[in-house]
């Protein structure tokens, strides 16, 4: 027999299943968001940070720009020393030195130029008309270095950006990816002239973590290309093949990687596929034990998913990772890192 109280509670009892479903949906979406976020997902947390845009395995053999520390002139070495000296006076970490050195190599090849584009002058090609200082000031290595560092310190999160991204944020160059080719040389200068051991932060013989932001930038670029057609040999912007998509994705993140999938396999440190982090590369091969038979590459994006440019029948897309597929190469590649010790 119902009472006034039970009759009053009846509508609430009818709502309970809907409330439960709503709470379950919120929980499901929250877990899904956390798993998909590149810096959070899948329970796979990044290992200790190091600057994997620069391989410690090649640091000191020269940068992508074709210059080594051994081929620098006395003038270039003197200017590099001035840049480092100012940073030490300002108590800045070696990462700031690397940003400044890569910038100066791109802008002036470490020469204190009295000419440049429009009114650009000095090591950093700073423009008096844009508030960098007088012509006399911007051609003084100490002054130009100090104001560069001051502007760098104004950039939020500069110390967690890839070197090339931090440099571009200060310089606002028309060629934003140009600084990347000098990163290895900059690390070598910091190590040898600045007397800093392992300035990249990566332990030799280990596979480090990508700098915060690099993986996200690469993934963001690739996801922005979803739906574009597959064309063999294409590298964008209107179509891609598998390796062309990943090359452009990391180019957008300020890193230079090889063009071909088999070379991309050797472009960084290796780790078991079950330990991949967002931004790592997964490969398929006719013989998974033989990297020379690789025929496809994808990028892991978290949540057991990958982005790929698969074939002429499918455009750029996101798919679940086929962990049990027989052609999946057992080792993934973390681009830009050093190879693990044998």
CA atoms within 13 A on the CB side of 334: 31
Class of residue 3 by CB neighbours under 10 A (exposed 0-12, middle 13-18, buried 19+): exposed
Show the tokens assigned to 296. Answer: 């496809």
Report the candidate in 282, 221, 207, 277 with the shortest Cα–Cα distance to residue 250.
221
> pLDDT tens digits for 118-130?
999 999 999 999 9
Burial 250-264 (b: 16+ CB within 10 A, else e): bbbbbbbbeeebbeb
Q: What is the pLDDT of residue 40?
A: 26
Show the tokens assigned to 162. Answer: 């890839």
Provide CB contacts within 8 A for 115, sequence distance 6+.
121
Helix axes 183-192, 94-108, angle to 10 degrees: 120
Report the candidate in 124, 54, 17 with the shortest Cα–Cα distance to residue 335.
54
Q: What is the pLDDT of residue 33?
A: 37
> Are the C-beta atoms of 311 and 317 separated by less than 8 Å?
no
* CA 342 – CA 339 distance, rounded (Å): 8
Phi, psi of 121 (to 5 degrees): -145, 160
Rg (CA), the chain: 25
Average pLDDT of every residue of the chain: 80
Measure Cα distances from 125 to 45, 164, 195, 197 in Å.
40, 16, 27, 29
Provide CB contacts within 8 A for 106, sequence distance 6+.
65, 167, 173, 178, 179, 181, 182
Q: What is the pLDDT of residue 61?
A: 34
> Are the C-beta atoms of 125 and 119 separated by less than 8 Å?
no
List the chain pLDDT tens, one digit each, 342 residues: 555 545 554 555 555 565 556 665 555 444 443 333 333 223 333 333 345 444 333 333 334 444 678 899 999 999 999 999 999 999 999 999 999 999 999 999 999 999 999 999 999 999 999 999 999 999 999 999 999 999 999 999 888 777 777 888 899 876 666 676 787 788 889 999 999 987 766 544 445 556 556 788 888 899 889 999 999 999 999 999 999 999 999 999 888 999 999 999 998 888 889 888 889 999 999 999 899 999 999 999 888 899 999 999 999 999 999 999 999 999 999 998 875 443
Report the candidate in 268, 248, 130, 299 with the shortest Cα–Cα distance to residue 206.
268
Query: How many helices (DSSP H) and strands (DSSP E) are in the chain?
Result: 10, 6
Query: In 49-140, which ranges are continuous DSSP H helix?
Result: 74-89, 94-108, 135-138
Report the candidate in 300, 342, 336 with the shortest Cα–Cα distance to residue 51.
336
Class of residue 51 by CB neighbours under 10 A (exposed 0-12, middle 13-18, buried 19+): buried
């Amino acid at each position: 027999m119902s009472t006034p109280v039970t009759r009053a509670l009846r509508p609430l009892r009818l709502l309970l299943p809907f409330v439960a479903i709503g709470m379950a949906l919120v929980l499901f979406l929250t877990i899904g968001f956390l798993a998909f976020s590149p810096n959070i997902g899948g329970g796979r947390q990044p290992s200790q940070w190091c600057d994997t845009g620069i391989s410690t395995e090649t640091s000191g053999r020269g940068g992508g720009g074709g210059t080594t520390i051994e081929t620098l002139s006395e003038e270039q070495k003197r200017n590099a020393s001035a840049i480092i000296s100012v940073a030490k006076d300002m108590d800045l970490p070696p990462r700031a030195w690397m940003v400044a050195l890569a910038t100066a190599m791109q802008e002036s090849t470490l020469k204190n130029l009295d000419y440049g584009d429009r009114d650009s002058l000095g090591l950093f090609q700073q423009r008096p008309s844009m508030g960098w200082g007088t012509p006399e000031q911007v051609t003084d290595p100490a002054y130009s270095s100090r104001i560069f560092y001051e502007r760098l310190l104004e950039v939020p999160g500069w110390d967690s950006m890839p070197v090339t991204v931090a440099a571009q944020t200060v310089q606002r160059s028309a060629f934003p990816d140009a600084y990347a080719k000098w990163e290895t040389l900059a690390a070598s200068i910091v190590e040898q002239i600045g007397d800093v051991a392992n300035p990249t932060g990566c332990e030799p013989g280990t596979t480090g973590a990508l700098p915060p932001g690099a993986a996200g930038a690469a993934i963001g670029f690739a996801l922005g290309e979803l739906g574009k057609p597959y064309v063999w040999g294409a590298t964008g912007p209107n179509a891609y093949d598998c390796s062309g998509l990943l090359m452009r994705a990391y180019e957008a993140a300020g890193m230079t990687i090889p063009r071909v999938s088999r070379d991309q396999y050797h472009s960084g440190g290796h780790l078991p596929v079950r330990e991949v982090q967002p931004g790592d590369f997964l490969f398929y091969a006719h013989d998974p034990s033989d990297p020379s038979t690789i025929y496809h590459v994808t990028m892991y994006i978290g949540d057991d998913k990958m982005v790929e440019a698969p074939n002429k029948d499918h455009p750029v897309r996101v798919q679940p990772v086929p962990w049990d597929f027989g052609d999946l190469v057992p080792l993934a590649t973390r681009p830009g890192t050093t190879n693990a010790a044998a």
